Structure 1
Amino acid sequence: MSDSVLFERVAVPGGQVLGLATLNRPQALNGLDLEMCRLLLTQLQTWAQDESVALVILRGAGDKAFCAGGDLHALYAGMQANQGGQPWDNQYAREFFDIEYRLDYLIHTYPKPVLCWGDGIVMGGGVGLFNGASHRVVTDSTRFAMPEIAIGLFPDVGGTWMLARLPAGVGHFLALSGAQINAGDCLFLGLADAFLPYRAFPALLDALTQQDWQGKREQLDRRLYAVIDQVRGSAHAALGPLERHYAQLRALCAGRDFERITQGLLAWHDSSDPWLARASQTFAKGSPGSARLSHALLERVRHLSLADVFRLEYIVSLQCGVQGDFQEGIRALLIDKDKQPRWNPDSLEKADAQWVTRFFQPSWPAGMDHPLADLGRSMGEAAV
């Protein structure tokens, strides 16, 4: 059996156990590949039905990252192997995004508490896992971002759903700039639930194992927060750069106008504030197509259910494998490493509202149901 994800059952008083899942590819910053997603999905489904499992804990091995995203090398190989050039012909992509999005949706709707230890890098696919947990813990080493504009993709894994619900259009800024935020900002925006020092995980796990975890879900949720507070003591998260600049971001992004936001971002290119300057420079170097696509998605998903958002993202992700800059972005960053992507279109003006409509066309055979049609059906949700 693969050791890319490690699963443990940790005994607690009362005869129950804690299910501990550890992403175990620290050399790759715990980036998710298809196998890891399958392992996690299968085990979490099993634990959901196992009455002896009281709650689930997700963490990453090593001290650098919870999860830095998806396995871009594997996705690139899948795009290279797709000689036909049709989105549905990319077998790896359609399987990977299917399983990954099912996994993320399962965490969002999990019947038991899920504590996610968001230490170190939490980006891309890592945000997908983290965002759905009931108890999202950040630390003083947390670096949280959705930096897909730098590789020609968009904030998927439910990222569009998450960002579209942030106040004052701040999600548009995060999507277009790929800006990194810290634990304080995550708490400020409601993207995390609690803070602990980065060295506190052993103490947290020890405290959790001293508790009797029998009871109703609401009781377990409260007990879990109480344990976190006990371990935290007087520690607190530092003020984040986004909170410091919140008034400026609110003024720029309120109204969610694409041209206004992009012009404002570019104007910060030489800002005296390093965080604003980096956000502007990342945007300026990023894919114009990704900027337009991300903005269009954030507008489309505002009133969709979570299941419908995953279904829409699935359509767009497959199209990104052939229509957009995803392959070129990975090539420039990770394959040739020249950091000189040749974006197409190469300007914001060319990536207009009409151009972006190509990404919203389903690519599976006629007469076939959406591959994620069953998500949320138990709650009466309709598919896109």
Structure 2
Amino acid sequence: MSEAPLLIEDLPAAGGKTIKRVTLNAPKALNSLSLAMARELQPKLVEWDADDAVVAIFIEGAGDRAFCAGGDIVQIYHGMKSLHDEGEGDADYPDNFFEAEYRLDYTLHTLDTPVIGWGNGVAMGGGLGILAGCHFRVVTENARLAMPEITIGLFPDVGGTWFLNRMPGRSGLFLGLTGAHMNAGDALFVGLADRYLPHAAKDDVLSALASAEDWGDPAHTVDRLLRRLAHAQDGAPPASNVRRHLDRINDVTDADTLSELVGAIRSLASHEDKWLAKAAATLDGGCPVTAHLVHEQIRHGAQLSLRDVFLRELAMARQCIRHPDFREGVRALLIDKDGQPDWSFKSVAEVPASTVKAHFAPSWDGDHPLADLTAPPAVASR
């Protein structure tokens, strides 16, 4: 297989039409999104969207283990160290990465051309941002989704403010605070997926797309063929943990203060259900500042437009780059791998309001780096 970060194939369709097949090609890194990938793919999406011959875009990850495990956090870490005069990486890389990543995600959300995301295997963080932006999100029996930023001192970005706020009850707040893993059933229940198909059916989907004859309404054609293939399958997705525990999730996230809320979730650490217990344990070891950021982005982000979500999240991401916890969280999890992050504050109660507020302030002079994002007439909340 080519070592190019993106593999692009033209699949001929009826009437001289074309389907673009895009493969995120970094299987050894579970197809983690790099700056090069984001910068290459985003303008191509814009170009294809303007081409009447392109009727659909299919995005997948190389190999069978992952759609996309997230952003290239290790390279971001070395850039952050250089920004703080502690290393020899590219100090501009972190800012450039988040700007390019968010531009890519926003483009996916706002394309007219239907995009199918083949959500097989791991789709976390930045990978979930790509999948969430697709018009048709397909998950397989191998799907494992999460927004685990609480473990590294970041926050559920890549549009998390948008899609977490649109989940049932307060499940989005719970998932953002705990980084709990979701299976295919969860993804369907919380609105992060539209169809369930076995991974073995991928070639059937591609064949059906290539053989479809009516492309007068591409989105309708894609929807119809995915529905037909999904209904023809015998298997069912795994049971949703979020659905099963939604009442408990709503109970523990119903609190006056973040400290009370966190305490209620932590009380689940001894719960007999392993999924709830693991979620509580992850929050317990997670970054206290991140918990505040999640709480704020959910409470005060529900009414934001999609465009304003990405503008606000870029301000937050750039501040995380400049504060110590993001760097420390990546060090502990992925660099030294000691699993012992030394967070700036030991509990959510110790985090000053001024620290939280600082994470929402712009870190640039002049116009917002994403000020040129074009607001679409409307974006349906999937």
TM-score normalised by structure 2 residue count: 0.93
SS at match of 1:303: coil
Q: Please say which of residues 338-347 and 223-232 is displaced more in the overlay.
A: 223-232
Partner of 1:189: 190
Partner of 2:275: 275
User: Is the 8 Å Cα contact of residues 20 and 58 (structure 2) preserved in structure 1?
Assistant: yes
Change (3 A) 1:110 1:380: closer
The alpha carbon displacement at 1:377 in A equals: 4.4
Deviation track 1:174-200 (CA, whole Å, cap 9, x = no partner) reads 011000011111111121111101211
State the 4+ residue runs in structure 1 displaced beyond 3 angstroms: 254-257, 377-381
Where does the alignment leave 5 or more consecutive residues of structure 1 unmatched?
none
Partner of 2:82: 81
Partner of 1:223: 221
Deviation track 1:273-325 (CA, whole Å, cap 9, x = no partner) reads 11011001111111111111111111121111010010010011011012141
**Matched residues in 2 for 1:378 and 1:63: separation?**
35
User: Is the 8 Å Cα contact of residues 20 and 57 (structure 1) preserved in structure 2?
Assistant: yes
SS at match of 1:268: helix
User: Is the 8 Å Cα contact of residues 168 and 255 (structure 1) preserved in structure 2?
Assistant: no
**Matched residues in 1 for 2:47 and 2:355: separation?**
44
State the AA in 1 paired with 2:228.
Q
Partner of 1:118: 119
Partner of 2:55: 54
Partner of 1:295: 295
Change (3 A) 1:256 1:100: farther
Change (3 A) 1:165 1:353: farther
Within the alignment, does 1:214 sit opposite 2:212 as a pair? no
SS at match of 1:38: helix
Map 1:1-384 onto structure 2 (within 5 A).
Answer: 3-83=4-84, 90-215=91-216, 219-232=217-230, 233-254=233-254, 257-365=257-365, 368-377=366-375, 379=377
User: Is the 8 Å Cα contact of residues 101 and 157 (structure 1) preserved in structure 2?
Assistant: yes
**Matched residues in 1 for 2:309 and 2:46: separation?**
21
**Matched residues in 1 for 2:341 and 2:84: separation?**
21
State the AA in 2 paired with 1:371.
P
Change (3 A) 1:152 1:178: same
SS at match of 2:21: strand
Q: Percent identity?
A: 42
SS at match of 1:116: strand
**Matched residues in 1 for 2:177 and 2:150: separation?**
6
| Aligned alpha-carbon RMSD (Å) | 1.9
State the AA in 2 paired with 1:343.
W
SS at match of 2:171: helix
User: Is the 8 Å Cα contact of residues 59 and 118 (structure 1) preserved in structure 2?
Assistant: yes
State the AA in 1 paired with 2:56.
L
SS at match of 1:41: helix
State the AA in 1 paired with 2:51.
D
**Matched residues in 2 for 1:345 and 1:77: separation?**
23
**Matched residues in 1 for 2:161 and 2:228: separation?**
34
